[in-house]
């Protein structure tokens, strides 16, 4: 018998995958049992198993699997699995995995041991008392394990849908395209009239007299809250009220022509501050359904002084005026000064123009800090290019304070005109005369100035401003999941900022210390100025102690903030999260210990109009008070009467390094709430992680320039656009056009490649899935691997998009340019007016993360990041729209992950940030190999009593086959 056992075991090993139990000693299987198996197999309809009955390999006791019948259209049908309940199954369970049957008579856990044991009784001589004892112990084990939801699927993490025969199905290739939004037809003449409001130009006396005639009671209130020449900042309660009054005036107009006429009357009215007018007009455009599709000037055109440092604007304008006078001495220049109330600084010295080259919107720059620009040739095989001469922009010295100085090197012999591909690769770049905005302006801000390209990026700050305009504090319309968006958008801001800090070898952002007497370590000077009032935003010196804010005599704020009260608010919020409810009144509460609890919590933290208890949690809210405290620390007792810092305005707050330390505190509040909710489980509970029948085999990124797999290249670029005079027309260009050259980080476009398999018996009605892609740094600044606990909050949402799936293997491609997170540079007024083609897709909305900052900077050697991909069931993710909202067309293409969709519900039913918004689940301990048959069996049963934490992302993706992770590299290329 021993010889037969050895011989059978060897044949089983040669059989490969068809025999999973090669190690089963056949000597322990009675002869009657072997005959029983053979008889059942003879009765089976599968000829394969009939043949195996006479083969020694059949003694490996593999259970029978009946394949489901598939229709010609590959429609999914329920998967019918039948297993033999006999000694074979029981023997297999004893020696390997103990799989349980999925047949109708075995649905109850009580029947499982009985069925197996009853078969064994009829063919074995084992004592009945031992069998009874074993059955009682088995039933006790199953009843005491609360995690048993399905004996085969949950207990032992085996899918009910087994994969087989993939060669019978074709490989489907699918390109996931961007969201399509139908462009709206608009009144071109009226659109141009709206644009003319922002194009500047001097007013004649007749126009001014007509404007003065408009004298409404609401305008007197607006003038009291924010005078025309006041220093405007959006978090001032008085300025916020003034812009709300203007918004209501625009909303109350019967039609867009009346809105246009009122806008013309108010823009030069002596009672209305121009920035209050602009905020009110943008707010009304968000609320009026009949203004969908009308485009207004984006903030860089409307408020250039909020995005371009005042020192650069002032000095550059003087240079251009001087150039205009020297160009035409016979014609006088009537241009007015840029700052009417600011003492002028010495002019920056410029040489002649460098060689001109025709460039489009984006050109390639080269180095960090200083920018080398010029012509370079490149061979076809992409060898190292040879320099032909360049223009060098240096940092200014002394009083020039960061002004750009042009120093031109001698020209060499010209070569052929560069191609567009060479321009993209960064081998050819030249500037005409323009005002360069780069990191040289804030060189005195210390080590934090290394991140100027992120914090001071025009599109980043415009995105934040637009978000708060679309979701204002005081509005008559609250969009769905607005408060949850506030939490998630700001969490991603911190995660992206941390990724940039690691790219620069800096530690993760710390938490702002809100205790009285704590020190604000970082200094910051934005060099921005309000051209209307002629005042600069007050800089913050280093090591400022945190004190109370006594501004009750401040006409813009009229309030005191005591740090003791502020810390009490923080404690009240944490206590409310701990007990699971917010206090709505003296004897009433609202439960937040559920998925939708983020809504009332975030409304209360930010203090919108839907705050549950303004008296208890403060009418200004914990979030808004913190911005005011930091912004007013330069003059906390209102002695100097200087303007606030940049933290007090949504258009400038992201420039300050303390914005991120403070929002780390705010995010801790939300993270405590998320930790109070149960983790997502592999199966069962809210939004389970597993999608049975679907598996992601691989994910990778491919550069469109055919670079190495999973390696992306970043570089420096410039965006050139014409300087606008602004809504208040304070920036007068005279007879000379002024261009801005904004230096920014950029990257080569790339695409994701995701390989997904869909089983015939997967649970899906629509045959659609939702792909979720995240990116996170793999190592900290010291090169140590991030734990899952820390990396969870560093996850950056890169994209979410639906895909069509077919039975078999699906290869999905998705371009980074189609991401539902990002948008390209906003078009200027001149670009809109010059465009004559009818667009095939609607233009992007104002809100959206800039596409040129979609991925972090990386390092010269390459910085590894973890790329995570997950696919979930679209049937469970789908959100049905309100039929009444469908009558209102989408006005623009909105990157909805951070910004939502105007007049639509948020198109994803799962919580924002899923699955990383909650802590990862605990998993059973792993049974080490080589323990022996009995010990392995006991370990597999009792390991569900001992759980371990998920330590790394690699362990996390093992929980569900529809998740996968890989490592990609970010390489900053400075060699052009």
Spatial CA neighbour of 842 closest among 176, 175, 179, 281? 179
User: Following DSSP, what letter does each residue of 813-843 receive, concatenated?
Assistant: EEEGGG-SSEE-PPPPHHHHHH--SPPSSPP
What is the C-alpha separation between 857 and 746, in angstroms, rounded?
8
* Residue 846 near residue 294, CB atoms below 8 Å: no
Who's near 451: CB < 8 A, 6+ residues apart? Answer: 497, 500, 501, 504, 506, 657
φ and ψ of 159, to 5 deg: -80, 140
Who's near 718: CB < 8 A, 6+ residues apart? Answer: 362, 363, 364, 365, 371, 429, 431, 436, 741, 742, 743, 744
Mapped onto helix, strand or coil, the DSSP state of residue 773 is strand
Which H helix or E strand runs over 34? helix 31-43
* Residue 454 near residue 500, CB atoms below 8 Å: yes
Q: 16 exposed, middle or buried (CB, 10 Å; 0-12, 13-18, 19+)?
A: exposed
What is the C-alpha separation between 436 and 431, in angstroms, rounded?
10
Mapped onto helix, strand or coil, the DSSP state of residue 957 is helix
> What torsion, rounded to 10 degrees, do the Cα atoms 552, 603, 826, 750 define?
130
Question: Which tokens go with 345?
Answer: 């600084």
Q: What is the DSSP letter of 293?
A: T
Between helices 598-606 and 658-675, what is the axis angle to 10°? 150
Q: Which residues pair with 755 in a beta bridge?
A: 698, 811
The angle at the Cα of 599, spanning 853 to 873, to the nearest 5 degrees, equals: 65
Residue in 422, 448, 470, 606 annotated catalytic? 606
* Residue 714 near residue 745, CB atoms below 8 Å: yes
What is the C-alpha separation between 549 and 539, in angstroms, rounded?
17
Four-residue CA torsion sign, 128, 131, 137, 140: negative
Q: Give the full edge-to-edge strand order of the sheet including 171-176.
A: 171-176, 808-815, 750-758, 694-703
Query: What does the buried/exposed string (b/e) look like for 749-762 if buried means 16 or more CB atoms within 10 Å of the residue's CB?
Result: ebbbbbbbbbbbbb
Where residue 82 falls (left for φ over 0; alpha for ψ -120 to 50; beta otherwise) is beta
In angstroms, the first-to-last Cα distance of the chain is: 76
- Chain centre to alpha carbon of residue 833: 32
Place of tokens 């050109």: 363
* Residue 326 near residue 353, CB atoms below 8 Å: no
Active site residue 606: yes
What is the C-alpha separation between 909 and 960, in angstroms, rounded?
20
Question: Which tokens go with 861?
Answer: 């050697």
Q: Which residues pair with 429 in a beta bridge?
A: 374
Which H helix or E strand runs over 212? helix 205-212
Tell me which residues are annotated as active site. Answer: 606
């Amino acid at each position: 018998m021993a010889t037969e056992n050895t011989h059978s075991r060897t044949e089983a090993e040669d059989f490969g995958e068809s025999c999973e139990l090669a190690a089963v000693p056949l000597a322990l299987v009675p002869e009657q049992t072997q005959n029983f198996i053979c008889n059942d197999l003879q009765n089976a309809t599968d000829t394969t198993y009939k043949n195996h009955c006479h083969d020694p390999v059949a003694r490996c006791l593999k259970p029978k699997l009946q394949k489901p019948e598939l229709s010609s259209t590959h429609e999914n049908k329920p998967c019918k699995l039948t297993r033999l309940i006999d000694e074979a199954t029981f023997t297999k369970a004893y020696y390997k995995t103990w799989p349980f049957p999925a047949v109708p008579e075995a649905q109850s856990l009580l029947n499982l041991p009985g069925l197996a044991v009853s078969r064994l009784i009829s063919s074995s001589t084992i004592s009945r008392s031992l069998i009874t004892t074993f059955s009682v112990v088995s039933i006790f084990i199953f009843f005491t394990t609360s995690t048993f939801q399905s004996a085969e699927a949950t207990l032992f993490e085996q899918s009910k849908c087994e994969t087989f025969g993939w060669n019978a199905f074709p490989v489907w290739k699918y390109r996931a395209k961007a969201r399509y939004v139908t462009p709206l037809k608009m009144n071109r003449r009226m659109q141009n009239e709206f644009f003319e409001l922002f194009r500047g130009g001097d007013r004649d006396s007749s126009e001014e007299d007509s404007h003065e005639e408009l004298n409404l009671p609401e305008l007197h209130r607006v003038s009291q809250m924010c005078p025309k020449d006041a220093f405007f900042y959006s978090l001032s309660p008085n300025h916020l009220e003034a812009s709300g009054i203007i918004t209501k005036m625009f909303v109350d107009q019967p039609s867009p022509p009346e809105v246009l006429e009122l806008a013309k009357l108010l823009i030069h009215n002596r009672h209305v501050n121009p920035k209050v007018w602009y905020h009110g007009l943008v707010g009304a455009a968000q609320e009026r359904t009949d203004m969908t599709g009308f485009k207004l000037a984006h903030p860089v055109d409307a408020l250039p002084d909020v995005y371009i440092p005042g020192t650069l604007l002032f000095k550059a304008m003087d240079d251009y005026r001087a150039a205009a006078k020297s160009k035409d001495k016979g014609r006088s220049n009537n241009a007015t000064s840029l700052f009417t109330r600011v003492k002028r600084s010495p002019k920056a010295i410029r040489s002649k123009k460098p060689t001109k080259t025709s460039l489009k919107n984006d050109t390639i720059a080269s180095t960090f800090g200083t920018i080398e620009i010029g012509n370079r040739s490149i061979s076809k095989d992409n060898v190292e290019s040879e320099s032909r001469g360049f223009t060098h922009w240096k940092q200014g010295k002394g009083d020039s304070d960061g002004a750009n100085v042009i120093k031109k090197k001698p020209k060499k012999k010209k070569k052929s005109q560069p191609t567009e591909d060479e321009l993209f690769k960064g081998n050819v770049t030249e500037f005409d005369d323009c005002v360069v905005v780069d990191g040289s302006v804030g060189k005195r801000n210390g080590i934090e100035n290394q991140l100027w390209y992120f914090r001071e990026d025009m599109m980043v700050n415009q995105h934040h401003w637009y978000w708060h305009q679309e979701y204002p504090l005081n509005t008559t319309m609250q969009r769905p999941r607005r408060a949850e968006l506030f939490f998630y958008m700001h969490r991603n801001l911190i995660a992206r900022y941390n990724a940039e800090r690691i790219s620069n070898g800096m530690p993760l952002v710390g938490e702002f210390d809100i205790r009285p007497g704590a020190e604000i370590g970082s200094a910051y000077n934005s060099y921005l100025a309000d051209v209307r009032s002629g005042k600069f935003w007050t800089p913050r010196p280093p090591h400022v102690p945190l004190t109370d804010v006594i501004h009750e005599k401040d006409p813009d704020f009229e309030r005191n903030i005591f740090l003791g009260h502020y810390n009490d608010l923080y404690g009240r919020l944490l206590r409310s999260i701990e007990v699971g409810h917010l206090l709505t009144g003296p004897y009433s509460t609202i439960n937040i210990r559920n998925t939708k609890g983020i809504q009332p919590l975030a409304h209360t933290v930010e203090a919108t109009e839907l705050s549950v208890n303004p008296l208890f949690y403060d009418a200004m809210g914990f979030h808004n008070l913190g911005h005011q405290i930091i912004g007013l620390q330069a003059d906390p007792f209102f002695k100097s009467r200087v303007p606030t810092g940049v933290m007090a305005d949504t258009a400038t707050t992201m420039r300050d390094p303390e914005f991120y330390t403070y929002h780390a505190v705010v995010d801790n509040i939300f993270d405590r709430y998320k930790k109070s909710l149960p983790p997502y489980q592999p199966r069962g509970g809210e939004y389970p992680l597993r999608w049975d029948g679907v598996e992601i085999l691989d994910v990778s990124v491919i550069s469109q320039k055919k670079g190495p797999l999973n390696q992306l290249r970043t570089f420096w670029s410039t965006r050139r656009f014409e300087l606008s005079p602004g809504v208040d027309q304070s920036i007068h260009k005279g007879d000379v056009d002024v261009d801005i050259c904004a230096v920014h980080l950029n990257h080569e476009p790339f695409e994701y490649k995701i390989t997904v398999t869909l089983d015939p018996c997967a649970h899906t009605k629509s045959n659609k899935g939702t792909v979720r892609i995240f990116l996170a740094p793999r190592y900290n600044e010291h090169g140590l691997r991030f734990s899952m606990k820390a990396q969870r909050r560093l996850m950056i949402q890169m994209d979410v998009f639906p895909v069509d799936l077919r039975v078999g293997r699906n290869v999905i491609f998705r371009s980074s340019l189609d991401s539902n997170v990002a948008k390209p540079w906003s078009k200027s007024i001149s670009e809109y007016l010059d465009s004559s083609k009818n667009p095939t897709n609607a233009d992007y909305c104002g809100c959206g993360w800039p596409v040129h900052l979609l991925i972090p900077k990386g390092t010269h050697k390459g910085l590894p990041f973890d790329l995570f991909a997950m696919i979930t069931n679209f049937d469970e993710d789908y959100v049905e729209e309100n039929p009444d909202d469908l009558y209102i067309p989408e006005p623009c293409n909105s990157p909805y992950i951070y910004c939502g969709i105007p007049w639509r519900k948020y198109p994803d039913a799962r919580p924002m940030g899923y699955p990383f918004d909650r802590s990862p689940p605990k998993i059973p301990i792993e049974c080490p190999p080589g323990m022996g048959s009995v010990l392995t069996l006991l370990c597999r049963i009792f390991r569900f009593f001992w759980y371990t934490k998920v330590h790394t992302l690699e362990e996390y993706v093992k929980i569900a086959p529809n998740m996968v992770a890989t490592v990609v590299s970010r390489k900053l290329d400075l060699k052009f």
